[in-house]
Chain A
Amino acid sequence: MAAPRPTGVPRSTLLILIAAALTLLTLQYRGVEPLGAFQRGVRDVIEPLRTVSDRVASPARSAWNGLLNYDDLRAENERLAVELARMRGRRLSAEADEELLERLLGEVDIGFADLDTVVVRILGTPPGNFATHTIEVDKGTDDGLAEGMPVVTGAGLVGRLESVDRARSTVRLITHPEFRVGVRLVGSQDEGLAHGGGRTGFLVIDAGVRADAIVGAGEVVVTSGGRSRFPADIPVGRVLDPGGGSDFQREIVVEPSASLENLSFLNVLLVTKERTFDPSVLLDPGERSR
């Protein structure tokens, strides 16, 4: 006997399914926890399989990338060689100029270096075709990670943990258009709100900074701390374009200090509580060091 084939348009069934999907979306938008737990449960169930898949596919992926991206790797190698030479020159220049050295040291007087961290390895992008500006890392709640924790490298802020499973987490990168961070311009001490610039790879400060504030290209930008979820004084980047063309809205373009390309390992700062406002962050860096 053959399976009967329904041929009519299943309006009632389809409407029920669409209504169910919209209900689920609405409930999750309101933060109904069992739905998130269900998703985490599904991911935890398939996590061992994904780990095996990652390990098996890693050599093949490296070979594939080497084959297809040879020109990119070569260009990257050349770029790093140029950067290394520039860094050497900068170091020599700093050694020759003690005052410059002190100022540079002031710029890298970063509080986050004292915080507890967990080193995580980057696994790649999350499954699916629309997870842009997010990456997956290989640790989760089993290692003490929680949603919202800042993710950094030695160079500065990289992003924050967006979702955390038992043994795997998703990081929202600072270039993600929905990423928000409170920042402070070290030179002018102005504070503002920055968001990711998407495909540009930059951040944009579009709120908080006075239209008449004097901001110079190359000025260091750090996290502002205070009520922000991020601790104060994590390097974010340097001002690329100080903006200032408009009397009403100012957009300052910031180049991230941490390169988001060819990363392998990251540090997650084990801080989740909202930090209390520290008035010393408003002082001049020189005064703070006294």
Chain B
Amino acid sequence: MTGRFRVLALLLTAAVLQATLFDEIRLDGVSVECLLLVSVLAGFHGGPERGATVAFLAGLLHDSVGSTPLGVHALVYAPMAAMAGHLSVRLVEGARALTMAGLVGAVMVGVTAAASVGALFGLHPVSGFDLVTTAVIAALSTLVIAGPTSRVVRWAVTGGLPVDISLTEGHAADGSLDR
């Protein structure tokens, strides 16, 4: 399976899950942000450029399944993925707790930014305490599925190969042997 088909399969699966399973499971009316998670993880595993492209497509799918104006989520997700890719290289890669905290922060920023952009383009603005509550619940519930999603996204955007290789020791950065 080529890289593009893997990414396509990943995005379609995530969109279907967003519109079905995660639409049913809501905490206080807030659902998991599956496509935002995929976008951030695509940047984290695939780097800023590849991540931004995957995130752009994820945003378009989110706008389609969620009936929001086409481009609202794409406008937010692409910079989020690029930022995640950039920060993962410089700051948080390797530190698990910091990575999870960064993921929670990224989802909260993504949710808030999507609400703000949506308000600019005619969606009913969610603001104040409601927005904070929505962002926090969405981030924490999204974190629950981050582990398995991370593995799938990593497989899709890197082809299952290790992302970084230590040339001096012959080991992948995540500890696995590079065979």
Identify which of A41-49, A242-250, A281-289 touches chain B.
A41-49
Contact B67 A46 (CB under 8 A): no
Q: How far is the CB of A6 from chain B (nearest CB, A)?
A: 4
Within 8 Å by CB of B78, from A18, A133, A170, lies: A18
Please judge, given known A-B contacts A14-B52, A53-B21, whether A2 and B64 are in contact too, CB under 8 Å. Answer: no
Rounded to whole Å, the gap between the CB of B97 and the closest CB of chain A is 22
Bound: A163/B20 CA distance, A: 19
Q: Say if the beta carbon of B165 comes within 8 Å of chain A.
A: yes
Residues of B within 8 A of A28 (CB): 69-71
B67 to chain A, nearest CB (A): 5
Asked if residues A53 and B20 are in contact (CB atoms below 8 Å), the reply is yes
Q: Are B71 and A38 in contact (CB under 8 A)?
A: no
Q: How far is the CA of A9 from the CA of B63 in the complex (A)?
A: 26
- Select B75's contact among A2, A18, A127, A176, beta carbons within 8 Å: A18
Nearest residue (CB) in B for A61 is B24
Instruction: Give the distance in Å from the alpha carbon of A6 to the alpha carbon of B56 in the complex.
Output: 18
Question: Which of B63, B70, B82 has the most chain A CB within a 10 Å cutoff?
Answer: B70
**Is the pair B72, A3 in contact by a Cβ cutoff of 8 Å?**
no
Decide if A22 is an interface residue (CB 8 Å cutoff): yes
User: Which residues of the partner chain A approach B78 to less than 8 Å between Cβ atoms?
Assistant: 14, 17-18, 21
CB closest residue in chain B, given A60? B24
Which residue of A131, A132, A176 contacts B67 across the interface (Cβ within 8 Å)?
A: A131
Asked if A128 and B47 sit within 8 Å, CB to CB, the answer is: no
Question: Is A39 in contact with B124, judged by CB distance below 8 angstroms?
Answer: no
Q: Quick one: CB contact mask for B40-78 with A, threshold 8 Å, 1 for yes?
A: 000000111110110010011111111111111011001
A54 to B25, CA, bound (A): 11
Q: Complex formed: what's the CA distance from A86 to B30 in Å?
A: 36
Q: How far is the CB of B106 from the nearest CB of chain A, in Å?
A: 15
Query: Measured between alpha carbons, how far is A162 from B79 in the docked complex, in Å?
Result: 30
B10 CB within 8 Å of chain A: no
Task: Type the 1/0 row for A25-50, where 1 means its CB is closer than 8 Å to any CB of B.
Answer: 10011000001001100110010011
Whether B19 is near chain A, meaning CB under 8 Å from some CB there, is: yes
Output the nearest chain A residue to B160 by Cβ-Cβ distance: A3
- Which of A60, A129, A162 lies in contact with B33, CB distance below 8 A? A129
**What are 6 A-B residue pairs whose CB atoms fall within 8 Å in the complex?**
A9-B48, A14-B78, A17-B78, A57-B21, A127-B18, A131-B66
